A and B are shown apart, each in its own frame.
Chain A
């Protein structure tokens, strides 16, 4: 189900917790699985649950609770824009609108070529850098004025 490399990474996470607390690694394991698969299909959740010795539904609870997990396929790049109040005051919402127009999609949609999925996010703890957005849960982009957004889109193409 998962590559040897992913399993190795999961094992490293498991080692952080007491031996009888493998379940503690579930968030990391799901994140690693998602990274490998692009999203989190049910089989991946079940695999992780089994690997950690927990009921699949308990892993499902976790996967549906934290909002960086994608339970449905997303584009090659998932761009999440923070529109929370502090960001909004410095253009977060406008940045979102700008992206929507540029990509021709709404939030929670994916461009027809399957390249980019747009999401609206909650506070990312980077309000001083507003507008901010994250690409694929990993790469935080700061001070995203129109120019910067154009640059980013060009790079993702």
Chain B
């Protein structure tokens, strides 16, 4: 289709609108309600343009291009129409620009300069709109500023999958509101602040703290989940004031999760560790860096001298940078230990040594958009991976059939084709059912060990989507990786992928879940579990909070308590580990250090330090470098983080090499899960997943951060004889905690859902282990 806009010619596909064509030509047409990621509302009427032969001005956002169409965006007719609309938008808009948070980045303000009249012809009283209280993240204090573009409403319906805002009433009394004072709880809610073209929805944490023109904008990358959302970090006086999405269509599109957006509050937290601390006379005391480093090197040397290098273990958080992970494993190995790992929430490591390459998503993120079928195995999908889930949600809005096989039936806010929740122990069998059903559909040889498996209807429905869909994908989520039978799940998924032509891959838990493999932060001796099962003398913890980050906090903490040296590299001081740590070394979070995250698709994303380190905190890679030197290890004379990275990934390489999810010589046993007793299902609450999110006061006020309950179905509840909401005592091995009970019919039989990663449950043991519950 050919179209002429202001004399310039564009060639656009059938079905394009005038707005699409204008964007292709780089012609700006003023607009408010139009947004490229949202459905077309055509309600603001700001984009009216003149179309040859049309008697009336037409909205560019909604008018389809016809061949040979001639459009004038600046003709008399067009300008008159646009000015007319602008006048209407302004008559009821408050004149509070000087105190409005949106000032300087307000589309209305910008356009009013060009299209607004000098003087108002409207001399009546302006509309009054009452403010709304909608939770800790979004402020709806000045709703009179709203121009009714309904972007926020459409975002909820279409992108977040959860309609929390609506436009109530009609005529000029229309107003954006939640249902009867409810809060906005979507984990993607902050995007509505960005979408609001005026200052009606503003960021509660950021409000009135700075004017947009005072802020320096810097590029960064989210340190939270495995998607690696691209960020713009805004800074004033060396302080991070705000975090916004940086558009990258291939990664986060134009969105970020609330965790990505509001975690920055913890960067300025009073809990930041500002000086090194070491244990002196039984108490942790602040010391100078040289004293602390001296203490640590001597401690390590002593342990090695008496117990050998293998008595040391190092455990890193998967949220660490590539450079940190690389140097940590190098240091550990240099000290003669093979006990290094970055996967503290794992339980089953039997695929180690069988991996053909670096486990990853199995396909590019952007290649999710045109899948015909996807199966997610073992995931609290939308809370574990908000933006990844969002991509799948868009898929379900088109043709894609998405299924979920997991341990909980939480609402994923998308139109799932099929969904099944089973106990963690039964997860392999559930996947095997799908595999068997697929084999039957394909009339292929039934894989060994599955002869007696009887696929249920849901398994068959899932298998059908993968067999029939041309492009299919199987995604293993956090639960699949943390499951005690992770390797078996992996092997089954591979087989299913092979049979159906789908890809198979891991969504990955954290910012560097792929990067850790690239950095080789992997055990050659004891893994993240064994290093606690077989206690070591000295531990080196990088960014890990054992009580919250380990698969079995009980086991980890008891080993740590018994060790003679525990060194913690951490940005924060408010740690449970202060009880047993011997040294705390203050490290810098992602905004204060250069580094690299490799996201789930293997994309290498480096970032720079944006603000000066807080207090005396130092980038962890530099600290490890110094330690390497102090410990007389060779190969620790790096000058820059780029140099460190260069040893792993060639410069300018967009994706890491060696990605593969294949397994060598691993099969499944299909051992029937032993029954008897309750099994724990542990989710990691979205805003407790990492140390930064945990310390963001605003995130901690959201519903997602509520104290975990003991969730069980009514049958289980009846067995222990309590009523919904009653206090119960939950026990795993020696650990006991008291929680409120909650009926949740979606919890599978013989299971108790108790979240991990929360102080209230930190005394418990394995995430998917045996558990007991009784009346309190």
Q: Name the A residues within 8 Å of B178 (CB-CB).
A: 57
Near B by CB (< 8 A), chain A positions 33-71 give 42, 45-46, 55-58, 60-61, 64-65
Contacting residues of chain B (529-578) with chain A, CB-CB under 8 angstroms? none
B170 at the interface (CB under 8 A from A): yes
- Selected contact of B169 from candidates A46, A56, A64, CB within 8 Å: A64
Task: Let me know if B100 is at the binding interface, CB within 8 A.
Answer: no
CB distance from B29 to the nearest CB of A (A): 29
Q: Main secondary structure on chain A at its contact with chain B?
A: helix
Q: Which residues of A contact B (CB under 8 A)?
A: 42, 45-46, 55-58, 60-61, 64-65
Which residue in A45, A55, A56, A61 is a CB contact (below 8 Å) of B167?
A: A61
Q: In the assembly, what is the distance between CA of A69 and CA of B165, in Å?
A: 20
Bound together, the chains give a CA A45 to CA B162 distance in angstroms of 18
Interface residues contributed by chain B, number (CB under 8 Å): 14
Assess the A64–B168 pair: CB atoms within 8 A.
Answer: yes
Contact A46 B170 (CB under 8 A): no
A11 to B415, CA, bound (A): 24
CB contact between B163 and one of A45, A46, A57, A65 (< 8 Å): that residue = A57
Going nearest first, the 4 A-B pairs with the smallest beta carbon separation are A57-B166, A55-B163, A57-B179, A56-B179
User: Are A60 and B170 interface neighbours, CB within 8 A?
Assistant: no
B165 contacts across to A, CB distance below 8 A: 57
Question: In the assembled complex, which residues on chain B have CB atoms less than 8 Å from the CB atom of A45?
Answer: 179
Q: Which residue of A lies closest to B162 (CB)?
A: A55
Name the residue of chain B whose CB is nearest to the CB of A42.
B180
Q: Which residues does chain B contribute within 8 Å of A65, judged by CB atoms?
A: 168-170
Q: Mark B177-215, 1 if CB is under 8 A from A, else 0.
A: 111101000000000000000000000000000000000
Q: List 13 interface pairs A-B (beta carbons < 8 Å), by A numbering.
A: A42-B179, A45-B179, A56-B180, A57-B165, A57-B166, A57-B177, A58-B166, A60-B180, A61-B167, A61-B168, A64-B169, A65-B169, A65-B170
CB-CB nearest in chain B for A67: B170
CA distance A56 to B177 in the complex (A): 12
Bound Cα distance from A45 to B179, whole angstroms: 10
- Minimum CB distance partner of B168 in chain A: A64
Complex: A61 Cα to B166 Cα, angstroms? 7
- Determine the distance from Cα of A45 to Cα of B180 in the docked complex, in whole angstroms: 10
* B177 cross-chain contacts in A, Cβ below 8 A: 57, 60
Cα(A95)–Cα(B167), bound, Å: 35
Chain A residue at minimum C-beta to C-beta distance from B166: A57
How far apart are the CA atoms of A152 and B642 in the complex, in Å?
88
CB distance from B645 to the nearest CB of A (A): 47
Within 8 Å by CB of B168, from A42, A46, A60, lies: A60
Tell me, in angstroms, the Cα distance from A132 to B724 when the chains sit together: 54
Chain B residues whose C-beta falls within 8 Å of the C-beta of A46 in the assembled complex? 179
B 61-75 binary contact with A (CB < 8 Å = 1; else 0): 000000000000000
Question: Chain B residues with Cβ under 8 A from A55's Cβ?
Answer: 162-164, 166, 179
A65-B179 Cα distance, complex, nearest whole Å: 14
Chain A residues whose CB sits within 8 angstroms of the CB of B166 once the complex forms: 55, 57-58, 60-61
Q: Report the separation of the CA atoms of residues A60 and B164 in the bound assembly, to the nearest whole angstrom.
A: 11
Which residues in A have their C-beta under 8 angstroms from that of B164?
A: 55, 57
Q: How far is the CB of A81 from chain B (nearest CB, A)?
A: 20
Alpha-carbon distance A49/B178, docked complex (angstroms) = 14
Would you call B163 and A58 a contact (CB within 8 A)?
yes
- A contact residues around B167 at 8 Å (CB): 61
